[in-house]
Amino acid sequence: MTENPSSVLLYPNIELKDPILVKEALLLYDNLYRIVPSDYKPNDHPEIQECNVDFEIVAPIYPEEYIEGTYQKFQTKVKKWSPLAAGFSPAKIARSDKLHEGKVYYELRKYFLDEGLLIKDGRWLRGNNALIANYMIFLSNEIAAENHLGLLTNNSPAWTTQEFVNYDGNYARTMHGDDFPYNALTRSLVGVYLTDFIPKNLEKIPFSEIMTFRDEYQQERINFLREQSRFIQELQTIKDPLVFKDRVMSLQARMKISLNDYRDSCKKLGPKHFFGAKVVTVPFITPIAAYVLSHDPELTAALSAIGITFGALWSLHSYQDDLDTLRKTNAYSYLDILQKYSFKTIKKVNSQLSTETMEFMLD
């Protein structure tokens, strides 16, 4: 069984402007990384800058040794996408995004410039934000996979693109929301939402207290991540709805204990409420996907007790045994949706992610 990563790569941006995202990540993970060219100094939020000096809370990974491999994969994959979705349109400086040239293999950089897709601006390449975002997702995925890191973002369009990459663009366009094709060989992509585990008062807690918490409650953090991993990994191997329900009932007790222990440890930080959501996608076969979304009262109650709910996203193309490893590059692409979301608002989040995925596919 794949272990839940204890270290994550924050993507897709160099600069970290949101202290809450970093604090959330520190509450769970042992090590945080980001992609930084070797000759670049990020301009972070002052609170993050200060803490990084004292603790190096987010370490840099230099992209230079990964850019050739990323170039090879990016060049192959984007040929399957429409030019507009990939971002292959003439670059314009106005309203453009930017990409540091140190993150791009020289052959790909030359192609982008020769074709007018990006424009050189000092050490930066500017142009279509879709092209730059798509490339950065590939680079993040390459670095994460090579180093066995999880991926963490609170940027839902970035996460949507990452999922497209993880599943090799294997989406079928016949399912959106709760409408499933009833082909038993079809895999349906379902979001597993883990909710209400983030202290609501993080903005008031200094990084120094977060670091003390990490050291004091390391085992609680590890157990919580391990049980999440066990839950998700075991569920996606089941092919019978009745067995699925029985397995949930047996797993939920362990998950609930780890969640309660983690929340109890967080009370040292003084929160009165917990919010936030994390989503992991799982490719269930269609009968299982239809069952978990049918709102069985007993199953729903068991899942509610451990802050878990399911949401339909998309169908994948016809499922075959050799596609069991669809998500072969990185099993853990997470979206931390921060504190404005909770168990009661997941339906809204699910609709948002489904819509963004559809817009990305149809661009």
For 15, 231, 312, the CA distances from 294, given in Å and listed in that order, are 42, 19, 11
Q: Residue 258 has what pLDDT?
A: 93
Beta-strand ranges (E) seen in the chain are 7-10, 31-35, 58-61, 97-100, 118-121, 124-127, 150-153, 171-172, 186-199, 274-285, 308-318, 333-336
Are 172 and 141 part of one and the same domain? Answer: no
Q: Containing domain of residue 278, as a range? A: 154-362
Burial profile 175-187: b = 16 or more Cβ within 10 angstroms, e = fewer: beeeebeeeeebb
Are 296 and 243 part of one and the same domain? Answer: yes
Are 311 and 350 part of one and the same domain? Answer: yes
Q: Are strands 7-10 and 150-153 parallel, antiparallel or unpaired?
A: parallel
Classified as helix, coil or strand, 85 is helix
- Is the bond preceding residue 12 a cis peptide, omega within 30 degrees? yes
Q: Residue 331 has what pLDDT?
A: 63
Classified as helix, coil or strand, 84 is helix
What is the residue-level pLDDT of the chain in tens, covering all 363 positions?
Answer: 345 568 899 988 889 998 988 998 999 899 999 999 988 889 999 999 999 888 889 999 999 999 998 888 887 776 666 555 555 666 555 456 788 888 998 888 888 888 888 889 888 888 877 778 778 888 888 898 889 888 888 888 788 878 877 777 777 755 444 455 555 567 788 888 988 888 888 888 999 999 999 999 999 999 998 898 888 888 878 888 889 999 998 888 899 999 999 999 998 888 878 888 888 888 888 888 888 888 888 888 888 888 898 888 888 775 554 455 555 556 667 787 776 777 778 878 888 887 777 776 665
Distance (Å, rounded) from C-alpha 228 to C-alpha 232?
6
Are 210 and 144 part of one and the same domain? Answer: no
Are 224 and 306 part of one and the same domain? Answer: yes
Burial profile 4-34: b = 16 or more Cβ within 10 angstroms, e = fewer: bbbbbbbbbebebebbbbbbbbbbbbebbbb
Are 55 and 113 part of one and the same domain? Answer: yes
**What string of DSSP letters covers 243-284?**
HHHHHHHHHHHHHHHHHHHHHHHHGGG--S-EEEEEEEEEEE
Beta-strand ranges (E) seen in 3-51 are 7-10, 31-35
Are 144 and 158 part of one and the same domain? Answer: no
Residue 50: CB partners within 8 Å, gap ≥ 6?
207
Are 239 and 111 part of one and the same domain? Answer: no
Are 179 and 137 part of one and the same domain? Answer: no
Residue 344 has, within 13 A of its CA and on its CB side, a CA count of 3
Q: Residue 284 has what pLDDT?
A: 85
Are 61 and 169 part of one and the same domain? Answer: no
Which of 97, 129, 150 is at the close of a domain?
A: 150
Are 277 and 187 part of one and the same domain? Answer: yes
Which of 118, 150, 182 is at the close of a domain?
A: 150
Q: Could you tell me if residue 116 is left (phi over 0), alpha (psi between -120 and 50 degrees) or otherwise beta?
A: left
Distance (Å, rounded) from C-alpha 48 to C-alpha 101?
25
Beta-bridge partner residues of 309: 193
Give the number of residues written for the chain. 363
Which of 121, 150, 179 is at the close of a domain?
A: 150
Residue 171: CB partners within 8 Å, gap ≥ 6?
164, 189, 314, 315, 316, 317, 357, 361
Quickly count: other Cβ atoms within 10 Å of residue 60's Cβ: 17
Beta-bridge partner residues of 199: 274
Beta-strand ranges (E) seen in 128-185 are 150-153, 171-172
Query: Which residue in the block uniquely carries the two structure tokens 């559809």?
Result: 358
Q: Residue 164 has what pLDDT?
A: 77
Structurally, how many domains does the chain consist of? 2
Are 134 and 254 part of one and the same domain? Answer: no
Q: Residue 177 has what pLDDT?
A: 47
